[in-house]
Structure 1
Amino acid sequence: MKKIIVTVAIVAVLSIAFANGITPAYVASAPGVASGIGAKLLCSGRYVSGFSQQQALDDLVKYSPLLDYLSVEFDDSNERVTTSFLGLATTTATHVDGIGCYADYEGFEQRADYAAEERIPMPVFSSRWPHGTRVETIDSAIQSQLDAMIAADNTEGLDTRALLIVHNGQIIAESYAGEADAETPLLGWSMAKSLMAIMLGNLEYRGLLDPTTTPVVEQWADDERANIELTDLLTMTDGLAFSEAYNPGDDATAMLFTEASGSDYAIRRPVAQRPGTQFNYSSGTANILSRVYFNHTGATLADSLADYREHIATPLSFQHTVFEPDAAGILVGSSYFYASARDWARIGQMMLNGGVLNGHRIVSEDWVERATSPNSSRNNRAYGYQFWLNRGNADQRWPDLPPDAYAANGNREQSVTVLPSQDLVVVRLGWTTGRYPINDRIVQIMGWLTTE
């Protein structure tokens, strides 16, 4: 009987796949990836961002029609989500206070061990932003225009949840929609890459990391990957074979949704190109950088989080953030940093200030210059140290913005855009399917500023 049920389930998966133009090769990995992404995102949406169960589900199914076939169990009392894809694969993700959600893996107790430790909560300050939570610099005219912009976005189906403008170092307007507000930690996806680069820049500033030392990770000491330098990793020109296509069975989906240790998966990837010559966008590379941070800050979850807290989160005065580690206890620097719009803006303002915020130097001014300069690749130079650049290629990325603009960008069109020549930071968070017109929106915002 059990074999019959499994056979029927497999036929159902194939039928669903073919109906959506998906090949059988895709299907082999689909159950594990589907249950993995389901449990992880639903858990974090519910227990990190604080969304309703329905909102978390609505967000999830936008990734694939196959996710409509998940069975889902929310356990609010234990802050846990279990998903199953047609009975072929089941995943449970558990929320741990302070470090968010990740899938549970047998034999990996790092997150549970961290949960058992006594920790002092992050301080919440009542001082003015960017140090604290108080915002007293709103420009009423621009606030009205930004409110109209977020309303127009959502009338157009762009699903914008937060828009925030920092001009001359002050928040002059912020608008929220749906279940989000000024205190909601929102998923930045790949904007976490930019933060991890900053964290490594902080280690360099403190003299704990030499960017010229090779091998970058000890597992590469005896093969051709020993020549890969930290700068190659920061600029995504490391030459490692890694596919970011986000299909089941693809490197990115396997690493993020079926592996206990994302960095272990990425470190095992072979060389495909000579380092420094070819840009290849890779979340695997970002998680190798996370491993570098881990290795240089004590090589335990508690130690790396303590370093992050002392030298990044507290000086930047993060108020509503969660940086999630994987089951092996290593921060997922490719993808899983949740922060309020105000906290994301703190990162942008620190970069705009040349590495300083709240009287604390986080990275050197020279590091900011290097991080926002074009890379050495032959195919895409408009990428710095995990930041997308407007300059570097023949055409600007954002044709109507100043050449010095750069941004942290993430899936579903998350962005923290920094425009140094305008003394401007614009944060946009949402859940867009397709493209968001960030060029046009920022042009509008710059227009508002010139008519103040």
Structure 2
Amino acid sequence: MKKILLSAAATLAGLLLLLALLAPSLLGFSITQAGNAVRVATGMGAKLACSGHYVSGFDPARNLDDLASYSAANRLLNLEYANQRVTASLFGLGKTSASYRPGLGCTLDIGDTRALDQVKLEPVNPGQWHSATGEWPQGSAAPHIAPKLQQTLDQILARDNQSGLQTRALLVVQDGKLVAESYADGITAQTPLLGWSMGKSLTAMMVGRLQALQPQQDTSSPLFPEWSDARRQISLQNLLQMTSGLDFDETYAPGSDATRMLFSARSASEVALQSTLAHTPGTHFSYSSGTTNLLARWLHNQLGGSPQASLDFLQRQIMVPLGMRHTTFEVDASGVFVGSSYIYASARDWARLGLLMLNDGVWDEQRLLPEGWVAAARRRNHSENDPAYGYQFWLNRGGETLRFPELPEDSYFMLGNRKQVVMISPTTGTVIVRLGWSAGDYPTGQNFAQLLPQS
């Protein structure tokens, strides 16, 4: 027994020493945050490896490389794959697992998650989908590929990856037609890829779809019964525009609101729900993933408060009408969509969302988003500090300078970590999708400018 205790003590001492050495140079946090750092590393490792493997189809080596792009210390994780679950630990500490469920993707195993086992993706009759042999976007055929543009796209993807930018998919839609698409090795037109914060835009669009179905929907304050104080002033529009005024810590460091929300909380939305007011609602823009998860929680409540009802709504009202066969929107352990971050979709499905916005919310002659909603979504907010943000979409024009000077002024964007981008350009009738895993900068403006129609 004494030898076992001495061995355990030696292991713990060695781990703490390792963390002390790694923390300042690799992890970017103080050794006093070592406990939170282990929880973040194992939570992130289990969640991303599970989704990477069971949703995107990646092998363990690629998953580990993706995790290591956030911190080289993540290579020390022990990741075990078994029975549609991934378990992560760091030197035996912080053991965390995530489980895969068809239709829901991967969810961290926090608390009682048995209710999720009962959720089923309802069968879709072949007649409900548009013909798979028809032209994109209704089907999968792409007869309008433009050879010169395709060559340019292939060159950009090759150059990106020679430079280590890890571009995985590039796609261009012009005038409603798929005119070029290029994929890295191991990626296809059917591969669901993580959009990170691009999911915020889809969350907003789901709110818009509910408003189209229920135009008399009560959006009066308070949005949540828990907000009986000054937070009852927060409106749905404030949440959509990131001007709620809530004090949410978006920094991605151990112990922050954002990392707790994504990698250790049973309910992602609960973290922001408990946030206090720092500003008068509507006056101050603050980019907050917590705010988007409040939108997801509000939507969940409006739909009846069950994960099955939320999944049915997504499938019936968004995925089936748009022909999005390769999309998974993941939930947290409480059964609410993690709208801020966890949507996996193929490049073609991301492009379908962009095209719906380009078409003013109309798809195949059916209005899915309320009249005027898209115009409001791409309109600048009224904050005092940063108006260049609409309804969970980034605006190219909104401040004193363009976000991307090379691109049309009226362009607006879904943007996500690792430089995920969907650009919607009304003046040129163009949607461009870029999916990848770039740890640093990416030449979005420079590359996308080469793909726009030449006047």
Q: What is the TM-score when the length of structure 2 is the normalising length? A: 0.94
Q: Does the 8 Å contact 1:188/1:338 carry over to 2? A: yes
Q: For the residues of structure 1 that align with 2:245 and 2:112, how far apart are their CA atoms?
A: 32
The answer for the alignment partner of 1:84 in structure 2 is 89
**Aligned-partner SS, 1:330:** coil
State the Cα distance separating 1:118 from its structure 2 match. 7.2
The AA in structure 2 aligned to 1:39 is: A
Which residue is 2:191 aligned to?
184
Cα offset, 1:442, TM superposition: 1.5
Shift of 1:26: 3.1
| Superposition deviation, residue 307 in structure 1 | 1.2
- 1:267 aligns to 2:273 (yes or no): yes
Matched, 1:342 2:348: yes
1:387-436 alpha-carbon deviations (Å, 9 max, x no partner): 00011101111112121100000000001000000000000000001111
Structure 2 residue aligned with 1:400 = 406
**Counterpart-to-counterpart distance in 2, 1:439 and 1:166:** 17
Asked whether the 8 Å contact 1:29–1:248 carries over to 2, the reply is yes
Give 3-state SS (helix, strand or coil) of 1:380's partner: coil
Structure 2 counterpart of 1:218, from 222, 225, 228:
225
Match of 1:136 in 2: 143
CA shift digits 1:240-279 (9 cap, x unpaired): 0111110111111110000111011221111111111111
Deviation at 1:86, TM superposition (A): 2.3
Q: Which letter maps to 1:12?
A: L
Paired residue for 2:211? 204
* 2:172 paired residue number: 165
Please report how far the alpha carbon of residue 100 of structure 1 lies from its aligned counterpart in structure 2 after TM superposition: 0.6
Q: In 2, distance between residues paired with 1:422 and 1:229? A: 34
Instruction: Report the Cα offset of residue 450 of structure 1.
Output: 1.9
**C-alpha distance after superposition, 1:295-350 (max 9, x if no partner):** 11121000111111111111111121111111111111000111101000000000
Residue 3 of structure 1: CA displacement? Answer: 4.2
Equivalent residue in structure 2 for 1:439, among 437, 445, 452: 445
- What CA distance in whole angstroms lies between the structure 2 residues aligned with 1:46 and 1:158? 21
Q: Look up the match of 2:67.
A: 60
Give the aligned partner of residue 298 of structure 1: 304
Aligned CA RMSD, in angstroms, stands at: 1.6
- 1:385 aligned residue (386, 391, 402): 391
Superposition deviation, residue 112 in structure 1: 1.8
Q: 1:376 is aligned with what amino acid?
A: H
State the identity %. Answer: 44
Supply the AA of the counterpart residue of 1:227.
Q
Report the alpha carbon displacement of residue 58 of structure 1 after superposing the two structures with TM: 0.8
The 8 Å contact of residues 153 and 160 in structure 1, kept in 2 or not, is answered as yes
Give the aligned length: 444
**Counterpart check, 1:282 vs 2:282:** no
TM-score (norm 1): 0.95
Partner residue of 1:416? Answer: 422
Conserved? CA contact 1:188–1:429, under 8 Å? yes
Q: Which runs of 5+ in 1 are unaligned?
A: none
Counterpart pick for 1:105 among 110, 115, 118: 110
Q: Residues 196-227 of structure 1, C-alpha deviation per residue, up to 9 Å, x if partnerless?
A: 0000011111126647411111211x111100
Pick from 324, 343, 347: which aligns with 1:318?
Answer: 324
Counterpart residue number, 2:123: 120
Answer whether contact 2:235 2:244 (CA < 8 A) is retained: yes
Given that 2:377 and 2:391 are in contact with CA atoms closer than 8 Å, whether structure 1 keeps it comes out as yes
CA contact (8 A) 1:322 1:337 kept: yes
Inter-CA distance 139–122: structure 2 relative to 1 (3 Å threshold): farther
Task: Note if contact 1:211-1:229 (Cα within 8 Å) is conserved in structure 2.
Answer: no
SS in 2 for 1:375: coil
**Per-residue deviation, residues 104-153 of structure 1 (Å, max 9, x unmatched):** 12323232222xx4731585631211111121111122111211111111
What CA distance in whole angstroms lies between the structure 1 residues aligned with 2:112 and 2:176? 47
In 1, Cα distance between equivalents of 2:354 and 2:308? 27
Distance in 1 between the 2:179 and 2:438 partners? 24
What is the aligned partner in structure 2 of residue 425 from structure 1? 431
